Structure 1
Amino acid sequence: MIRLDQPNLANLPELRHIGKPLPRIDAMGKVTGATKYAGDYVMPNMLHAKVLRSKYPSAKILRIDVSKARGFPGIVAVLTADDLPGARVTTDIPGVTDTAKRAGTDAPILAKDRVRFMGEAIAIVAAEELAIAERASDLIEVDYEPYPAVFTPAEAMQPGAPIVTEPDNIVARWRIVKGDADAAMKNADVIVEGTYKTQFIDHAYLEPEAGIAWVDENGVLTIRVSTQVVEHFRSIAAALQLPQNKVHVMGALVGGGFGGKEDITVELFIGLAALKTRRPVKMIYTREESLLAHCKRHPFTITHKTGVTRSGRIVAAQVNMLADSGAYVYLSPYVLLYAASSAVGPYRVNNVTVNACAVATNNTFTSAFRGFGAAQACVAYEQQMDEIARELDMDPRQVRRINYAQAGDTTPNGQAFRGAVWLEECAQRAWDALGEETKANAPHMKIGRGLASYMQSYGRITWFHDTSQAWVGLEMDGSIVIRCGVPDIGGGQMNTLAQITAEVLGVPMERITVYGTDSALTPLAGTTTATRQMYMSGNATYQAALAVRKTLAERASQHLECELDEIDFADNTVFVKNDASQNMPLTQLIAICAAEGLPRANLSLFKAPFTDKLDPDNAQGDIWPDYTFGAQAVKVAVDTETGEVRVLKSAACHDVGRALNPAAVAGQIEGGAAQGLGYALMEDVQIVNGVTLTPSFAEYLIPTASDIPETKTIILESGTGLGPFGAKGIGEPALTPMAPAIANAVADAIGARVTQLPLTPERVLEAIDKIETRFS
């Protein structure tokens, strides 16, 4: 059972479209199966592509013999690194990591002399049929020589360890210094130390990586792909040695991304094959291939040392973070920065030192995943808060209340919290929603409650010069077209743009069409990542709609003989606010504007705040545009005989600024909590000595409907966000507090802490055994 509560604490005004749970404009196509995803597209004369991948996590390639594969009937092309010499996947990463900029990935498209992780691409086979491509890929002969490898960050940092990527295994370092943690620690009454570990996990989206590429009649390489970033056309052009105007990326609707489609996936493989064959080429990863070869969430080991007074006030925090980057860099420097800047959570701590390091290993590479480092940080700092309370013999909620940040307080980076910081309100409402105590139904069953609060930014790092563009135009019949390059990854991004426009121009949603996700034909809107699209493209659309409204309102005020601020728009009608009898059809106003040559469309560019690069010595500065705050509370039952954990009830409370569409917001919160439940209890990409032991959903477990508990979603609206109408981002924050809330509830139930995710039955029983041994 899912329940929604939406109290209007800030007394926000009632609006016509905003704040209403309006149906999704893409819903009918999705529920009827009419919607096409990337893998559904077919073209005449189309080829099917398959990638041959490394069987070793670290090895030299001595020989690649493709002769048998090329001679196999139905094979059109077999491509290796020799077919595109020197080509590499380079994602530019601006900013400063330690004392020098480091390339975003610099990974080869196809390995030539060495492979660095199991599943690395070696060759591409393009064939008339998929089965032929699969069979021919097995005929490619590769001679390997095993090469020394490292599989843990600690091992990779040892002197003399094998080097995964030159010049060394240190991918990124960040050091954050605020106040004097060493001096403050000496004056603390109590020092609490704890180490917390998170695991590799997979995005496990419904739709695996897929795309189709062809060279059009103008010689432009065109790629229709499941992606979160159509702006990859620049990186694709660089890798394939083409001018940027000769690469055109069209994003299909995406069946789940969660960060896994933020990096390039199939684009270079099918693009290279299409260029070489001059025929359309399609590729869809199998589930096994996706689990093996695409990026994972970074595992972290995080150690907290916290100095507190006996009354519960935190006076100092020292945090060390170590992250596994896998074989290539990708977005590790920024995941690490996100984690480091979130290291002490939503608390007032005046003396902080954070040392964070990401290290290359011969594991599958890691990159973006919903939460982007903040989720791992929250797992650690929220368990540490409960451990502080245990050490002081205090209620964990009281320790949090004493230390919650307030507006005007600053993060470890020195960035001030602005607007509403409703941490205590969110925590109290989430906790209260759990209801009365639940009694165990058997002696071996233990019931526990857990709480986790969080802070998480929305919007990209502020030195990225982030921008988004949107075009809004009125047709002669009063319908509206929006053009915006936003990739819709299932979160209703295009629906949000339509709802904003409907509010501004008074046109029903069914009269609005949104064209998106095209690098050539829609204004570029940036990535659907970093919980940024509502904020960035929402504001761009809002500005464009307001500009159109201004032109119309100025002309309408002349026609209706009233002041400009008295004009309003609703239900395809323009009228005077205080006298609705004075009105005119919107179509009549449009005709007048058209006849007089007045603009009925606007292209708007929205620019996010910009700050200079951080000081690499202490990472001080305004890193993020703004923050979302909230809390998660859960009730669990633990079977002390089997170690099984079951979440009985879940309550989430988030301040989203303004819920533009409460149904969509609730969907994000509930989906994020479900994903966080999997993170806490079961999901684990098991990589042992570089070999993935979880190649399918039979081994890699994700939550099913039977695992989802009774759920209550509480939406608070402070109206203080930077998005349209005061909205804040909620896409990523929805996941962040669930796993630590469950971990705290399990510790409450059994009286012992499991410090490593996931909280498997084996680990729970081990913790129980340790406490029983200690007491005996």
Structure 2
Amino acid sequence: MNNDRQEAGMSRAIVGTSTPQVTAREKVMGRAQYAGDIKLPGMLHAKVLRSPHPHARIVRIDTAAARALPGVKLVATGYDVPARHWGPHRKEQRILACGVVRHVGEEVAAVVAVSEEIARDALDLVRVEYELLPALLTPAAALAAGAPEIHAGTGNIGHEMRIERGDVEAAFAACAAVYEATYDMHSQYPGYLEPMASVAAQDGNGRLTVWASTQSVFLARARLAEALDRPVSTIRVVQATTGGGFGAKIVEENNSLICAFLASRLERPVRLVNNRLEDFQGARASVPMQVWLRMGLSAEGVILAKDVRITAECGAYSGLAGDVMHVTAMRSDNMHRVQNVRSHAVLAYTNNPPRGAFRGFGGQQMQFPLNCHLTVLAGMLGIDPIEVHKRNAIGAGETSVHGWKISSTGMAECLDMTRRAIGWDEKRAAPRGTGTRRRGVGIAAAMHVSGNRTLGNWDGSTILLKMNEDGRVMLQTSECDMGQGANTMLSQICAQELGIPLSHVTVMAPDTDTAPFCLGSLASRVTIISGNAVLRAAREARQKLLALAAEKLGVQAQQLVIADGRIAVPGQPDKSATLAEIARLHIFRHGGEGIHVRATYDAPTVMHDADYYGNVAPAHSFAAQAVEVEVDTCTGQVTVIDSFVADDCGKAINPLAVHGQTHGATVQAIGWALYEHLQYEDGRLMNGNFADYTMPTADAVPMLRTDVVESNDPNGPYGAKGASETAILPGAAAIANAVFDAVGVRIQSLPITPEKVLAGLRALRETEAAHA
């Protein structure tokens, strides 16, 4: 039996079956073509000179020696690029810095040469004279009275928001337990395997093509058009194979802009690939925040009031950091039935590198404080923290305090599953050890959106489905697969609906010239939004096939079924035809044409109003995580020895991919909580490589255990919703809660380092001695 027949025999169970990614073979065999692998005739190579200062005026740039170096074709500075500024919201960046640099690593000049080595040598010949300016390296310094402005007229505030619902003070007065604390959370580098890379080429008609590692080809095209000051239709963006994004490759990287500008100037192909240090300096790491949180519960453990003050740091440019802070300020309110909430959030400009989107998009910056808080408050009331979560968990059919309509939720089921898996009740009841190594357990829960109507009044996706004459299908979409398995999910839905093997579906690479407009991979939207679009397209194609097959076979369409690549009347072998036969017949007849279907799905949501009230997402994912840690009281080292995550993904279209995404998110959360920390000295990054920037490796994490809860969302394809971001949210709090359970030390600033644990133990001993 050949491979196609083997797949065909399983076609009825494609959705819900663990399936290797359709892109996996090319990747593991080394045949996948990433942007850095692209080679074009006459291609040149670019390198970028970056600022060594956090804040300085550019007095003079001497490029003469660099231009004279044999093999150099172009040296460009900020005075050569278009004067138009770009940015997701505030228009404040240039392709290359002009006049002023505002952070270490800002792009000052670019060199193009016949080889990367010559371009790198030419960078050493560019002479830049700087006049140093005062550098504001903390939000406190930037927001202090009289501080110099990084951007004129801003007061160093990139964004500010206030929300208040209910009567917060009256609710606090009615509380049986109130707790307040301040939490400090650092910035995390996205850590993708493939650093940013772009290749650009302009043809004889002046059309510019850019091959890029991106999460959204259309958002990338819009940004290129804005920065280059040219019509979008003169630009084509093609997504190359993308080796991870985690938010940092949405709309904020500068690599593709520089590459595109250089190619347009030279009218020759140009390649620009960041090395790892350049990527550390140029990528948008997550937004660091300080969160002051005050919460109050009734004697029964019901959340009555929540008050939040947030100071976030966007660095030198605001980018998407304001949107991230928006999520931190309000999203977690929607997972519980709280009715009295108040948030005040301020985003500060500093002379640190810009911050931006990161997996979880600001959710973890509130889930860490919130889950730590709820564990403390539960202890004050003598209630199990799992019970506190369950008593307050919002239910399906309810509307949250901010107007979010919850169509499905598996939060209670996630908590119960996690409780059993970790042995929560037994381990909580066991006596705590008194030896050098002590163990404790902690738990946390979280929610995330699946889709988000905030970029504009559209959160949709369009799919073009074409069936070839052999009955195989091509799908055209500009939703991006950045390694999370989007192409596999789309192929599974299409194959399921059309009764064909998975191998008979090909998802084309996103290309703005040929694919329909889509927003791309962000806000965990691809499964629910584009999944619904391909479901509609496949069902329309199915109806076309059934109608023509019914005419050919002389039966009613409702008598026919499609399975294993054939259309047939069950039990009547003579009343059947292959999909290929019907696909050809659809063309070769009077008035015939190929089977081409276009389908669009726009989520049934509404944009929030000026007071941030509105149902912005069609579905919401939930997760819970429990961990067991071991704390060495001599060294302060914290080791995660067990972890279990329950992930409510609605319906697991591909359980293998869901587990993989959950594992990856869990490891990133462990890294943020315990290991990763960007170290700066006077605004200069000191650990911009994987040797010095400590990320968790296989020996630093336990055997990761996960399972799914299928709440079957009514808005999702087959009930599915997002499954790539929620699992990153509870990890840090679960670890912090477990450390407290083990040794009685509450760590409220990340990462949880041995030094902080030892300091906490010392303070605990001093307190105990003072009360002895």
TM-score by length of 2: 0.94
Residue by residue, what CA displacement relative to the aligned partner does 1:436-479 show, whole Å, maximum 9, x if unpaired?
64999981111011111111111123544122211111111111
d(CA) in 2 for partners of 1:331, 1:299 = 13
- Classify the secondary structure of the residue corresponding to 1:406: coil
1:584: how far off?
2.3
Q: Residue 542 of structure 1 corresponds to which residue in structure 2? A: 535
Q: Residue 227 of structure 2 corresponds to which residue in structure 1? A: 239
- Classify the secondary structure of the residue corresponding to 1:659: coil
Q: Residue 18 of structure 1 corresponds to which residue in structure 2? A: 15
Which among 86, 94, 111 is matched to residue 125 of structure 1?
Answer: 111
Q: Residue 113 of structure 1 corresponds to which residue in structure 2? A: 99
More displaced 10-residue stretch of structure 1: 457-466 or 546-555: 457-466
Q: Would you say 1:270 and 2:270 are equivalent positions?
A: no
- Whether the 8 Å CA contact 2:62–2:128 is kept in 1: the answer is yes
1:76: how far off?
0.8
Q: Would you say 1:29 and 2:26 are equivalent positions?
A: yes
d(CA) in 1 for partners of 2:294, 2:732 = 21
Q: Would you say 1:52 and 2:49 are equivalent positions?
A: yes
Q: Would you say 1:768 and 2:756 are equivalent positions?
A: no
Residue by residue, what CA displacement relative to the aligned partner does 1:415-436 show, whole Å, maximum 9, x if unpaired?
23223x2222111111211246
Q: Residue 209 of structure 2 corresponds to which residue in structure 1? A: 222
- Classify the secondary structure of the residue corresponding to 1:171: strand
Q: Residue 425 of structure 1 corresponds to which residue in structure 2? A: 413
d(CA) in 2 for partners of 1:739, 1:47 = 45
More displaced 10-residue stretch of structure 1: 595-604 or 385-394: 595-604
d(CA) in 1 for partners of 2:639, 2:714 = 35
When residues 254 and 350 of structure 1 are mapped into structure 2, their CA distance, relative to the original with a 3 A threshold, is: same
d(CA) in 2 for partners of 1:644, 1:412 = 40
Residue by residue, what CA displacement relative to the aligned partner does 1:160-203 show, whole Å, maximum 9, x if unpaired?
11211232111112222221111111222221112111101100
- Whether the 8 Å CA contact 2:449–2:620 is kept in 1: the answer is yes
More displaced 10-residue stretch of structure 1: 402-411 or 73-82: 402-411
Which among 591, 597, 614 is matched to residue 621 of structure 1?
Answer: 614
Supply the AA of the counterpart residue of 1:130.
Answer: E
- Whether the 8 Å CA contact 1:174–1:336 is kept in 2: the answer is no
d(CA) in 2 for partners of 1:242, 1:533 = 29
d(CA) in 2 for partners of 1:726, 1:171 = 39
- Classify the secondary structure of the residue corresponding to 1:18: coil
The 5 Å alignment of 1:331-480 reads: 331-344=320-333, 346-419=335-408, 421-435=409-423, 437=427, 443-462=435-454, 463-480=456-473
- Whether the 8 Å CA contact 1:200–1:686 is kept in 2: the answer is no
Q: Residue 717 of structure 2 corresponds to which residue in structure 1? A: 724
When residues 27 and 543 of structure 1 are mapped into structure 2, their CA distance, relative to the original with a 3 A threshold, is: same
Q: Would you say 1:194 and 2:161 are equivalent positions?
A: no
Residue by residue, what CA displacement relative to the aligned partner does 1:351-396 show, whole Å, maximum 9, x if unpaired?
1111122111111101110000112111111111111112223322
Q: Would you say 1:61 and 2:58 are equivalent positions?
A: yes
- Whether the 8 Å CA contact 1:341–1:411 is kept in 2: the answer is no
Q: Residue 251 of structure 1 corresponds to which residue in structure 2? A: 239
- Whether the 8 Å CA contact 1:177–1:412 is kept in 2: the answer is no
d(CA) in 1 for partners of 2:458, 2:278 = 35
d(CA) in 1 for partners of 2:369, 2:411 = 18
Supply the AA of the counterpart residue of 1:641.
Answer: C
1:625: how far off?
2.5
- Whether the 8 Å CA contact 1:344–1:381 is kept in 2: the answer is no
Which among 588, 591, 609 is matched to residue 604 of structure 2?
Answer: 609
The 5 Å alignment of 1:303-318 reads: 303-318=292-307
Which among 190, 205, 210 is matched to residue 203 of structure 1?
Answer: 190
Residue by residue, what CA displacement relative to the aligned partner does 1:646-699 show, whole Å, maximum 9, x if unpaired?
111111111111111111111111111111111111111123432212221122
Q: Residue 289 of structure 2 corresponds to which residue in structure 1? A: 300
When residues 377 and 566 of structure 1 are mapped into structure 2, their CA distance, relative to the original with a 3 A threshold, is: farther
Query: Over the residues paired in the alignment, what is the CA RMSD in angstroms?
Result: 1.9
d(CA) in 1 for partners of 2:564, 2:432 = 55
- Whether the 8 Å CA contact 1:192–1:391 is kept in 2: the answer is no
1:718: how far off?
1.8
When residues 249 and 81 of structure 1 are mapped into structure 2, their CA distance, relative to the original with a 3 A threshold, is: same
d(CA) in 1 for partners of 2:103, 2:459 = 33
Give the 4+ runs in structure 1 shifted more than 6 A: 438-442, 578-581
More displaced 10-residue stretch of structure 1: 28-37 or 216-225: 216-225
Q: Would you say 1:532 and 2:525 are equivalent positions?
A: yes
d(CA) in 2 for partners of 1:501, 1:327 = 45
d(CA) in 2 for partners of 1:439, 1:686 = 39
Supply the AA of the counterpart residue of 1:235.
Answer: R
Q: Residue 86 of structure 2 corresponds to which residue in structure 1? A: 89
Supply the AA of the counterpart residue of 2:639.
Answer: R
- Whether the 8 Å CA contact 1:551–1:599 is kept in 2: the answer is no
- Classify the secondary structure of the residue corresponding to 1:602: strand
More displaced 10-residue stretch of structure 1: 409-418 or 706-715: 409-418
1:85: how far off?
4.1
The 5 Å alignment of 1:646-725 reads: 646-720=639-713, 722-725=715-718
Supply the AA of the counterpart residue of 2:166.
Answer: G
- Whether the 8 Å CA contact 2:334–2:401 is kept in 1: the answer is no
More displaced 10-residue stretch of structure 1: 49-58 or 692-701: 692-701
Supply the AA of the counterpart residue of 1:542.
Answer: L
d(CA) in 2 for partners of 1:55, 1:338 = 33
- Whether the 8 Å CA contact 2:106–2:282 is kept in 1: the answer is yes
Q: Residue 3 of structure 2 corresponds to which residue in structure 1? A: none
Identity of aligned residues (%): 35
- Whether the 8 Å CA contact 2:82–2:228 is kept in 1: the answer is no
When residues 733 and 580 of structure 1 are mapped into structure 2, their CA distance, relative to the original with a 3 A threshold, is: farther
When residues 360 and 477 of structure 1 are mapped into structure 2, their CA distance, relative to the original with a 3 A threshold, is: same
- Classify the secondary structure of the residue corresponding to 2:727: coil
- Classify the secondary structure of the residue corresponding to 1:651: strand
1:286: how far off?
0.8
Which among 226, 246, 268 is matched to residue 279 of structure 1?
Answer: 268
Supply the AA of the counterpart residue of 1:603.
Answer: R
More displaced 10-residue stretch of structure 1: 522-531 or 665-674: 522-531
When residues 386 and 439 of structure 1 are mapped into structure 2, their CA distance, relative to the original with a 3 A threshold, is: closer
d(CA) in 2 for partners of 1:439, 1:216 = 73
- Classify the secondary structure of the residue corresponding to 1:740: helix
d(CA) in 2 for partners of 1:580, 1:366 = 63
1:59: how far off?
1.0
Q: Residue 507 of structure 2 corresponds to which residue in structure 1? A: 514
d(CA) in 1 for partners of 2:572, 2:167 = 64
- Whether the 8 Å CA contact 2:324–2:356 is kept in 1: the answer is yes
- Classify the secondary structure of the residue corresponding to 1:734: helix
- Classify the secondary structure of the residue corresponding to 2:32: coil
Q: Residue 6 of structure 2 corresponds to which residue in structure 1? A: none
1:581: how far off?
7.1
- Whether the 8 Å CA contact 1:228–1:528 is kept in 2: the answer is yes
- Whether the 8 Å CA contact 1:721–1:728 is kept in 2: the answer is no
More displaced 10-residue stretch of structure 1: 689-698 or 489-498: 689-698
- Classify the secondary structure of the residue corresponding to 2:748: coil
For structure 2, the residue ranges without an aligned partner over 5 or more in a row are 1-10
Q: Residue 5 of structure 2 corresponds to which residue in structure 1? A: none
- Classify the secondary structure of the residue corresponding to 2:418: helix
d(CA) in 1 for partners of 2:659, 2:560 = 34
1:560: how far off?
4.4
Which among 496, 503, 508 is matched to residue 503 of structure 1?
Answer: 496
- Classify the secondary structure of the residue corresponding to 2:54: coil
- Classify the secondary structure of the residue corresponding to 2:599: strand
